[in-house]
Structure 1
Amino acid sequence: MIYEVHHRTTIRYEVPVAQARFNIRLRPYGWPGQSLIAQKLEFSPQPDEWRDEVGPYCINRSVIAFSGKLSELAIESRFTVDVAARSSVGEGPMLRQVRQEALDRRDLSVLSPAPYLFASRIADANSAIGDWAGELLSSDQPIVAAASSVMGAIHHDFAYRPGTTSSATPPAEAFDRREGVCQDFAHVMIVALRSQGIPAAYVSGYLRTVPPEGQERLVGADAMHAWVKVWCGAELGWLGFDPTNDCLALSEHILIAMGRDYADVSPIDGTFVGSAPQNMATAVDVIAQDNAV
């Protein structure tokens, strides 16, 4: 399926700020089964400095800087991407096999499971989440079923409530409250799986905005979405699991970046000199090409 994606963000400061620098992570990272056809990233005003980088992890980053005063910044990303259709993935090896294989591998590439086995800045270790995950999982489960059981438990036991959490909310707090948004659900699932020795990564991206006829619209389609990639052994590799919608991330999910947690893949972050309050507004459209106008 070919998708056209338009993402626009506007940042406004109550008073101008100085020496602003931003990291922009909106250019899709190359991923198996996902081909970038065209892409354009624009800024208004034009930055005084702009360089494009790859990494760390599975991330494309644009670093921009402004030497003068800045009161407003508009960021516009447009791209066309072809996502290969995929309806099934199989069961994969047993959980115990994946756990051992992840420990034994000596792969140091960006797709290595090693960086995703351990606690990270936001997805830190938590005994309560680990104990909860241990009750859901069995070493004799196929890995896809095991990850799906954690995904399903989050979907059914946690309430999707926008505005109750923020990007700074720890997974432990979202777990205790049993509520949050896609970012929180992804972090809880990551902590749960890592506690059982399963490599799990945080993915930022998009969902198809208009669903196929007869299907319900996925939650989170109006903004950037978050889900989890789980390393399911060398043969299956990384598979996507969306706990917000309780589904595999197949042909309706578009990957932008993959890292250890949200801190690695945040679409926009940066620094500036000043103390002005800021306001950020974002609009997202993801249209299947056969519905584009």
Structure 2
Amino acid sequence: MIYDVSHRTIVRYTGPVRLARFNLRLRPAPWPGQTLHGHELLIDPAPASVQQAFGPWHVTRDRLAIGEPIQRLMVESRFTVEVAEPGFLLQTVPAPSVGQIRAEALTHGGLDALAPSAYLYASSVARPSAVIADWARPMLGDEAGVVAAGRALMAAIHAGFRYDAKATRTDTPPEEAFAKRRGVCQDFAHVMIVAARAHGIPAAYVSGYLRTLPPPGKPRLVGADAMHAWVALWCGEQLGWIGFDPTNDCLADASHIFVAMGRDYADVAPLDGVFHGGADQSMDVAVDVIPRQAGEQVSAA
């Protein structure tokens, strides 16, 4: 499936701000089964400099510096991406057990951005919670297959939590969202991450997009009007990272467009930064993910 993606953000300040520095995490990082056909950033006012870097997680970051005082910033990210249907390995490779994954992850020697060891431990947002760990324990027994266990955990969140955009904020701790049994995709992903890590399964936070318009006869996925979040669980050397979407109770497939992966939302936030000034700010975001018509091609990147 080929998609044209547009993500437009407008930040407004109540007064001028100076020496603004912004981090953008909107350019998709490389991901298996996904091919990026070009990316462009439209920025107004034009920045004094733009520096691109990769890491420290599986993230491509564009860092902007704006010298003159501003009261408004517009950033638009545009790209075309081709996404293949996953699932072949799941049909041909036996999934290891939760106990096997725990043992493999602890002895894995990799230190790169996709190594499981980086996603085993607590992070700034996804902190340990005994309450969440106890709730998840029946689904994550040692003998359970790791993919089946991930599906069970995902389904339990989908069934037991209500999507409610007013219930939480971007800085709501996972334990608070868990207690409310309400939230948005970010909250559901954090709860699943805390639960999986508590039982030794490497778990990562994935940011990306969902197709805006569903295929004929299919329901529209929740969260398609903004950036979406789901969870990647490390399922061993052969299966690698597999995406689980607790908001929609499905594995990540060709309707999911990968952008970045980190320990939690703080590692992959689409836009953050600092400035001099005491102004309040507001933000408007508009996202479009439009599938190409069958047979419509794209040029090489």
Task: Establish whether TM, by shorter chain, passes 0.5.
Answer: yes
Partner amino acid for 1:26? L
Counterpart in the other structure of 1:192: 195
Partner amino acid for 1:226? A
Counterpart in the other structure of 1:103: 106
Counterpart in the other structure of 1:286: 289
Aligned-pair CA distance for 1:95: 1.1
For structure 1, the residue ranges without an aligned partner over 5 or more in a row are none
User: Which one of 227, 231, 239 corresponds to residue 228 of structure 1?
Assistant: 231
* Within-5 A mapping of 1:98-177: 98-177=101-180
Whole-angstrom distance in 2 between the partners of 1:109 and 1:282 = 32
Whole-angstrom distance in 1 between the partners of 2:166 and 2:270 = 19
Counterpart in the other structure of 2:48: 48
Whole-angstrom distance in 2 between the partners of 1:17 and 1:200 = 38
Partner amino acid for 2:49? E
Alpha-carbon displacement from aligned partner over 1:142-178 (angstroms, at most 9, x marks no partner): 1100011110000000010012111110000000111
What TM-score do the two structures reach when normalised by structure 1? 0.98
Aligned-pair CA distance for 1:216: 0.1
Counterpart in the other structure of 1:23: 23
Aligned-pair CA distance for 1:137: 2.0
Counterpart in the other structure of 2:299: none
For structure 2, the residue ranges without an aligned partner over 5 or more in a row are 297-301
Aligned-pair CA distance for 1:49: 1.8
Partner amino acid for 2:179? D
What TM-score do the two structures reach when normalised by structure 2? 0.95
Counterpart in the other structure of 1:80: 80
Aligned length: 292
Partner amino acid for 1:184? D
Runs of 4+ in 1 over 3 A off after TM superposition: none
Counterpart in the other structure of 1:58: 58
Q: Say if 2:37 is the partner of 1:34.
A: no
Alpha-carbon displacement from aligned partner over 1:68-91 (angstroms, at most 9, x marks no partner): 101100000100001112255245
Whole-angstrom distance in 2 between the partners of 1:112 and 1:206 = 23
Counterpart in the other structure of 2:11: 11
Aligned-pair CA distance for 1:267: 0.2
> SS where residue 149 of structure 2 aligns?
helix
